[in-house]
């Protein structure tokens, strides 16, 4: 039997019933005295029978008084036992809190410690607050990364890992969506830099197309299984372990994942061709607190857009390097401005490219800044008359590129 049950129930009931029995005997003797009935000495022949006969003659008010006394005594003793239990619990809690306070002294509200000769009242804390975890200290439970072609990805923390969702902000549907995890690098705190990647590229395909202003089905791409020592990346069919280096004793693992998102525009009819959208590239940094089994996402860094038309690659085999300055894109309908340089030559040239659907690209490359700006302005005004209609880029404001 539990001590609490014994203190709050068994003892009060036994004491109250014992008190009631004594009061009942006293009432019987008083009744016998009042009625002139002669009782035999206790525990002799006929004594019990005489008691029973006299008890029948007891007045009702006396029986009610005895019952009230029994109930009152029982309730009083039970409440006293409850108060004692609560007092003992508070004493133990206060002693525990005082020990915690001594072991972990806290500065006063002004941030200044009390002098050794002064004393201040200590307010016992019943429960010590849980220290913030890596997860609580880091940024959001989700991040949204936009592309230059009017779609975005949303990376969310879920119960067992990270999942990625593609959101379509275009006027047309998109499909053929793929997530490529190209690298996964662990962080070396001694060198303050990330190590080389430990995985080959992992590709995940999104099964459905996404309608305009729609959201695709989420795909989990990083998680931790109970039977595995490491984080897993990829999918259930093709996964890779993020094995933390044996010599690194860090309590929190820090990983940088390089992501590539590929998508294509849904063709307008059955005979139409899908056109690839601008690829979205980003690096995300994930922290895993092994002791708590908690994940956190640092703010991602999105790489700059890199329009890529077969006729004008970003870097050429002849040593030409092109830097994207301004761009407007709507599928294959594009207006692009580059600064170009060539290995061994100090001069910078200016390249403006106009791509039209089902037409050959138009381009002007010149060392004259004004000529390039004039051609950009001409093609910009031509496109603006038709309406940009779902286009994206950093040149929509009409500013000159060079």
pLDDT surpassing 60 at residue 247: yes
Residues 151 and 293 in one domain: yes
Per-residue pLDDT at 320: 72
Residues 42 and 71 in one domain: yes
Q: What would the mean pLDDT of 382-395 be, rounded to a whole number?
A: 76
Q: HSE of 107 in the Cβ direction (CA atoms, 13 Å)?
A: 5
pLDDT surpassing 70 at residue 383: yes
In the three-class reduction of DSSP (H, G, I as helix; E, B as strand; rest coil), residue 174 is classed as strand
Domain boundary among 235, 269, 302: 302
Tokens of 181: 């995890």
Tokens of 304: 């700059």
Range with the poorest average pLDDT among 44-58, 59-73, 301-315: 301-315
Q: What is the pLDDT of residues 306-345, one digit of tens each?
A: 444 444 455 555 567 778 888 887 767 888 898 888 776 7
Residues 385 and 325 in one domain: yes
Q: HSE of 64 in the Cβ direction (CA atoms, 13 Å)?
A: 3
234/204 Cα distance (integer angstroms): 7
Cβ-in-10-Å burial (0-12, 13-18, 19+) of 375 comes to buried
Please spell the DSSP secondary structure of 276-291, one letter per residue. Answer: EPPPEEEEEEEEEETT
Give ∠ CA 87-88-89 in degrees, rounded to 5.
Answer: 90
pLDDT surpassing 80 at residue 236: no
Residues 144 and 211 in one domain: yes
Residues 333 and 234 in one domain: no
**CB proximity list for 226: less than 8 A, separation 6 or greater:** none
Specify if 112 maps to a domain. Answer: no
Q: Does residue 181 contact residue 233 with C-beta atoms inside 8 Å?
A: yes
Specify if 265 maps to a domain. Answer: yes
CB atoms within 10 A of CB 254: 20
In which domain, by residue range, is 39 found?
A: 3-103
For the question of whether the overall pTM of this predicted structure is more than 0.75, the answer is: no
Q: pLDDT over 90 for what percent of the chain? A: 13
Q: Residues, the chain, total?
A: 402
Per-residue pLDDT at 297: 85
Q: What is the pLDDT of residues 161-213, one digit of tens each?
A: 898 999 999 988 999 898 989 889 999 988 888 999 988 888 888 888 899 99
Q: Does residue 292 contact residue 131 with C-beta atoms inside 8 Å?
A: no
Residues 139 and 250 in one domain: yes
In the three-class reduction of DSSP (H, G, I as helix; E, B as strand; rest coil), residue 79 is classed as helix
What's the total number of domains in the chain? 3
Residues 212 and 344 in one domain: no
Q: Does residue 263 contact residue 151 with C-beta atoms inside 8 Å?
A: yes
Residues 230 and 145 in one domain: yes
Listed as own residue / partner, the contacts of 357-360 with beta carbons closer than 8 Å and 24 or more positions apart are 357/331, 357/332, 357/333
Residues 160 and 253 in one domain: yes
Range with the poorest average pLDDT among 22-36, 244-258, 292-306, 335-349: 292-306
Domain boundary among 268, 302, 336: 302
């Amino acid at each position: 039997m539990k001590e609490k049950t014994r203190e709050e129930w068994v003892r009060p009931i036994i004491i109250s019933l014992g008190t009631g029995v004594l009061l009942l005997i006293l009432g019987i003797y008083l009744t016998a005295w009042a009625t002139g009935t002669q009782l035999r000495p206790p525990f002799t022949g006929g004594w019990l029978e005489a008691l029973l006969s006299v008890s029948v003659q007891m007045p009702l008010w006396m029986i009610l008084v005895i019952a009230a006394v029994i109930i009152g005594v029982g309730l009083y003793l039970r409440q006293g036992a409850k108060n004692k239990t609560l007092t003992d619990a508070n004493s133990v809690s206060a002693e525990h809190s005082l020990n915690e306070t001594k072991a972990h002294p806290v500065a006063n509200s002004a941030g200044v410690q009390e002098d050794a000769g002064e004393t201040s009242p200590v307010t016992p804390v019943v429960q010590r607050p849980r220290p913030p975890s890596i997860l609580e200290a880091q940024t959001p439970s989700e991040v949204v990364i936009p592309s230059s072609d009017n779609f975005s990805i949303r990376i969310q923390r879920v119960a067992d890992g990270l999942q990625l969702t593609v959101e379509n902000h275009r006027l047309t549907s998109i499909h053929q969506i793929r997530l490529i995890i190209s690298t996964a690098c662990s962080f070396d705190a001694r060198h303050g830099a990330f190590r080389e990647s430990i995985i080959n590229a992992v590709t995940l395909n999104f099964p459905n197309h996404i309608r305009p202003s729609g959201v695709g089905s989420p795909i989990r791409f990083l998680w931790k299984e109970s039977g595995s020592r490491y984080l897993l990346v990829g999918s259930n069919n093709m996964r890779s372990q993020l094995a933390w280096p044996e010599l690194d004793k860090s309590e929190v693992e820090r990983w940088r994942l390089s992501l590539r998102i590929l998508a294509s525009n849904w063709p307008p009819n059955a005979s139409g061709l899908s056109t690839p959208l601008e690829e979205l590239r980003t690096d995300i940094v994930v922290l895993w607190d092994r002791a708590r089994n908690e994940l956190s996402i640092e703010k991602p860094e999105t790489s700059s857009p890199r329009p890529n038309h077969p006729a004008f690659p970003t870097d050429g085999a002849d040593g030409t390097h092109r830097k994207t300055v301004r761009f407007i894109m709507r599928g294959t309908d594009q207006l692009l401005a580059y600064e170009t340089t060539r290995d061994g030559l100090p001069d910078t040239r200016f390249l403006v490219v106009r791509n039209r659907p089902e037409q050959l690209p138009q381009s002007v490359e010149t060392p004259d800044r004004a000529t390039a700006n004039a051609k950009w302005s001409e093609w910009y005004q031509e496109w603006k008359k038709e309406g940009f209609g779902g286009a994206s880029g950093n040149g929509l404001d009409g500013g000159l590129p060079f």
